[in-house]
A and B are shown apart, each in its own frame.
Chain A
Amino acid sequence: MAKLLEVKNLKTQFFTQDGVVHAVNGISYTVDAGETVAIVGESGSGKSVGVMSLIRLIPSPPGKIVDGEVWFDGQDLLKLNEDELRHIRGNRIAMIFQDPMTSLNPVLTIGRQITEALELHLNMNRDQARKRAVKLMEMVGIPGAEARLDDYPHQFSGGMRQRVMIAMGLSCDPQLLIADEPTTALDVTIQAQIVDLVNRLKEELGMAVIWITHDLGVVAGMAERVIVMYSGFIVEESLVDDLYANPRHPYTLGLLRSIPRLDIGRQKRLIPIDGLPPDLLEAPTSCPFAPRCDFAIEKCTQENPSLESVGPDHVAACWVDISGAKVNVASDADLTEAELRSREDAAVAVSSKQEGEGA
């Protein structure tokens, strides 16, 4: 399939009073036309900043895109001027944000907010725009669309507001829809409705979707390809089936293990990822995951691995081959030798550290 978006070595930093925050540290990936790519990571992993940088929605200052290229349909988005970019944003690349309450304007009617983009980008007059808005709202499943056009955001429930956001995003038939944690603020039953809706619309309209989330469960049901981010780096990228069956980065493995699952027997104990996410103020020189990693070897603390191919359409950034580790762990017997050793070491280190600090 044709490449729609190509991101090359994108680097975004924030210049704050405390120093430089290394939010995105040179990420490269592509999105094909009509494809769904999920970007998974925790807060602070750079997943949101990474995609906001694509359409230059980074508050600047303090933020700055310091390096990289973003090729969208033959144009480098980072080299366009504001005017040219405005014709792409909301038109050919649309975005849905996490919190539908704060991203809708509370003093404008829903109708006005949807028609604004239509009048601006598609040169429609008021009547045409209104008719199209009704159609869009019906498409995303808002009952009584015509009557609700003149309602204000506070008159809608959370799930309905997110539908309005999606209707706004789709208003100009975008080629690429960026969804930044669109279901995180919603309940599971509403989440199921929204995921279902986006999947259906994607098929009908043939657009590509970048779906940003921290929930590996949602990703499994909708994405074709998954990118895992940690500390501003892409640490693993793979087709969806392979990633879940055969994760090759310890962080991905850790994420999969730490969530309780409904489909298998109840685990006796969850296996958390120990430690805390790294401080982004320090320029990374070694593998950022090494301090929390069960498989870390000496090399991990000296050099940051780059993405290497570990299988067909599967890349990971890790010095160690973890392909023997199991995702579903019922007891310690399912852990590899290296992991067990590291767990013991960690326990010893913690106790001796506490004694040391006590002295």
Chain B
Amino acid sequence: MSTQTNGSQGSGALVEVKGLKMHFPISKGVIFQRQVGAIKAVDGVTFSLYPGETLGLVGESGCGKSTTGRAILQLYRPTDGSVVFEGKELTEIKGEELRKMRRSMQMIFQDPYASLNPRMTVGSIVSEPLEVHGIGGSRKERQKRVQELLKTVGLNPYFVNRYPHEFSGGQRQRIGVARALAVNPSFIVCDEPISALDVSIQAQIINLLEDLQEELNLTYLFIAHDLSVVRHISDRIAVMYLGKIAELAERDELYANPMHPYTQALLSAVPIPDPVIENERKRIILEGDVPSPANPPQGCNFCTRCPRVMDVCREKEPEFKDHGNGHYVACWLYEEGHEG
């Protein structure tokens, strides 16, 4: 996005992702395994995150949004590309050095049932990151810190000795948030943190995340498939399709003026809880399914489903570029000489 590489100082970016690629090998053979192809889960993604902002990353299942989040945190080692966090190139460091960096970047997971160890008490779940990073002082001080954290996320501090199964989904997600906050991170990847929760509980967690951001000046990468939730929480939004970013813009700009045909279809597919509006709306219904990331179509990766497809789309890949005011789109419709 910008050419600044001076890290987190001043107006610079906190996280800079450039040409990030994450390919998973497909191998054949039992004894002599050979690679016959690759699942291109993330295939060249570029964006930056600025301190204190929330970048929403939306897309359908299988588009690579979660993989992007994990590759940024180096939970997967990217195939190619660069991730600069607080001025450090994460793809080049490993071992102890990388572990130290993890103090400042944490993750909240989608499934609050699977992401908490059922054999650990809430207290030990939340204090584990403190122990791992050797912070928080003595055992007693750590315990105090854990209680503070539980209070911060809206749980009773006297729950420390309970086990995850004693809590509801919403409360478990709060424990997950407390665990992520324990080491005072500056950047949190929220991977669909509310999609496993009931509707009436979702709003509680969103409000909590917003309050914490304000209080602790956190930067979020908020991954979700629900466009109305993403609009609520994000400052800027990136729409992903089949391993690539199709469009990236300021929140209000994206919703008022979606440029990419995929974004337009996605927005029109979101149901609105009002029968009067719903009956008058015209939906853009996309035909077919998302192609396999092992074998993406030639040219623009959306060309197989695009309602406004042109010849050029099937031949050459459109460039992801700024069309004014930080509104990035990768689509031939907006290239000179190609307007449909």
Contact = CB atoms under 8 A, between A and B. Distances in A.
Contacts of A354: 151, 156-157
Given A43-B198, A188-B266, A267-B232, A259 B203 contact: yes
Interface in A148-162: 157-160
B207 interface: yes
Given A214-B198, A269-B210, A271-B203, A187 B255 contact: no
Contacts of A274: 204
A274 B207 CA distance: 12
B275 A266 contact: no
Interface string A35-78: 00000001100000000000000000000000000000000000
B166 to A, nearest CB: 12
A221 B282 CA distance: 11
B227 interface: yes
Nearest to A357: B158
Given A189-B60, A192-B283, A270-B206, A221 B275 contact: yes
B289 A192 contact: no
B200 A262 contact: no
Contacts of B252: 266
B18 interface: no
Interface in A183-209: 187-193, 195-196
Interface string A250-266: 00001110111111001
Contact of B276 (A42, A241, A267): A241
Contact of B201 (A187, A245, A272, A358): A272
Q: Which 8 A-B pairs rank lowest in CB-CB distance, beginning with the nearest?
A: A217-B271, A272-B203, A187-B60, A260-B232, A273-B200, A270-B203, A258-B203, A192-B269
Interface string B276-298: 11110101011011100000000
Query: Which of B252, B274, B281 has the largest count of A CB atoms less than 10 A from its CB?
Result: B274
Given A160-B289, A270-B203, A259 B228 contact: yes
Q: Chain A binding site: helix, strand, loop or mixed by DSSP? A: helix
Contact of B271 (A43, A220, A245, A269): A220
Interface string B133-163: 0000000000000000001000011100000
Nearest to B170: A276
Contacts of B204: 272, 274
Nearest to B200: A273
A266 B285 contact: no
A215 B281 CA distance: 18
A191 B269 contact: yes
A157 B289 contact: yes
State which size class the interface on A falls in. 35 or more
A247 B276 CA distance: 15
B114 interface: no
Contact of B278 (A158, A193, A220, A260): A220
B278 A42 contact: no
A187 B225 contact: yes
Interface of B: 60-61, 151, 156-158, 168, 170-171, 198-204, 206-207, 210, 225, 227-229, 231-232, 251-252, 255, 265-279, 281, 283, 285-286, 288-290
Contacts of A258: 199-200, 202-203
A281 interface: no
A218 interface: yes
Nearest to A222: B278
Nearest to B281: A221
A260 B229 contact: yes
Contact of A357 (B156, B225, B278, B279): B156
21 contacts: A42-B198, A187-B60, A187-B61, A189-B60, A189-B269, A193-B285, A196-B283, A215-B199, A217-B270, A218-B271, A220-B274, A241-B276, A244-B275, A258-B199, A258-B203, A259-B228, A260-B229, A262-B231, A272-B207, A276-B168, A354-B156
A138 to B, nearest CB: 15
Contacts of A256: 273
A208 to B, nearest CB: 19
A142 B68 CA distance: 32
Contacts of B61: 158, 187
Given A196-B285, A270-B203, A277-B198, A220 B265 contact: no
